[in-house]
Amino acid sequence: MDTIQNSRKVISILVDNKPNTLARISSLVGRRNYNIETITASETHMPGVTLITLVVTDTDPDVLDQIVAHIEKLEPVREVHVMDSTGGLYRELLLLKVIVDKDARSSLVEIAEVYRAKIIDLSRSSMIIELTGEPSKLDGFMDLMSEYELVEVCRTGVTGMNRGM
């Protein structure tokens, strides 16, 4: 099932693409003592409109409501909503560079296959793996990878959509 941990809340914000909008939103959330775990911003199908997705640690529902109300008041904001933790689809992208020798190569390939990851670069001494999926899937993959020598890890942050209309 495509869910996000109950201790986290996903806030979806549709904004006009204007300078400082992302900074203003992240500053507003930080001033309320919420930690932003991930933040993504991307263009939408509408010209000049950006979708910002925040994942915050849930501490107090009243504070979350207050944050949403303050975000809604910002001039470039068109729409804000807290996504349903069980009815939404959430995805993240992971790129991972790992040191690999002949002995470890086959075990890494097997792990990648189990997780449906792609090996997008391979050299004599390293491998770059690409994996997309729910954050919990990426967390599980990273747990297995902790046994290997990691060179670089890049995660995009969560993006998501509610099911249906």
Q: Where are the domains of the chain?
A: 8-82, 90-162
Q: What is the pTM of this model?
A: 0.84
- Rounded to an integer, the average pLDDT of 145-150 is 94
pLDDT digits (tens, 9 = 90+) for 12-61: 999 999 999 999 999 999 888 888 999 999 999 999 999 999 998 866 78
The CATH classification number of 90-162 equals 3.30.70.1150
Looking at domain 8-82, which of 3.40.50.300, 3.30.1490.20, 3.30.70.260, 3.30.1380.10 is its CATH number? Answer: 3.30.70.260
CA atoms within 13 A on the CB side of 139: 8
pLDDT digits (tens, 9 = 90+) for 65-82: 888 999 999 999 999 999
Q: Which pLDDT value is given to residue 78? A: 97
pLDDT digits (tens, 9 = 90+) for 97-126: 999 998 889 999 999 999 999 999 999 999
- Rounded to an integer, the average pLDDT of 129-138 is 95
Say yes or no: do domains 8-82 and 90-162 share a fold: yes
- Give the residue from 118, 126, 122, 120 showing the smallest Cα distance to 101: 126
The distance of Cα 101 from the centroid of its chain, to the nearest Å, equals 31
